[in-house]
Amino acid sequence: MTTQDGIPREITFTEHKPFLIIPPDMLAESITRCQSGPETLFSLKQFFPPDLVNYLRQVLEINRHLPQFTDHSPFGRTDQNELLSLMLTQLGSLRVDRQLWFSKLNYTCSAKNEGMLHAGYTKEAREIGLEGGTFLYRPDGACTFAEPFEMQLNSPQQ
Length of the chain equals 158
Neighbours of 137 (CB within 10 A): 23
| Sheet bearing 149-153, strands edge to edge | 99-100, 94-96, 8-13, 133-137, 149-153
Q: Can you tell me whether residue 103 is helix, strand or coil?
A: strand
**Residue 158 included in any domain:** no
CA angle 124, 128, 134 (to 5 degrees): 150
Domain span at residue 128 reads: 8-153
pLDDT of 3 above 60: no
Nearest to 114 by CA among 48, 64, 59, 40: 48
Higher model confidence: residue 150 or residue 125? 125
Number of domains composing the chain? 1
The per-residue pLDDT for range 105-120, each reduced to its tens digit, is 999 988 888 889 999 9
pLDDT of residue 15: 85
pLDDT of residue 142: 42
**Residue 100 included in any domain:** yes
**Residue 35 included in any domain:** yes
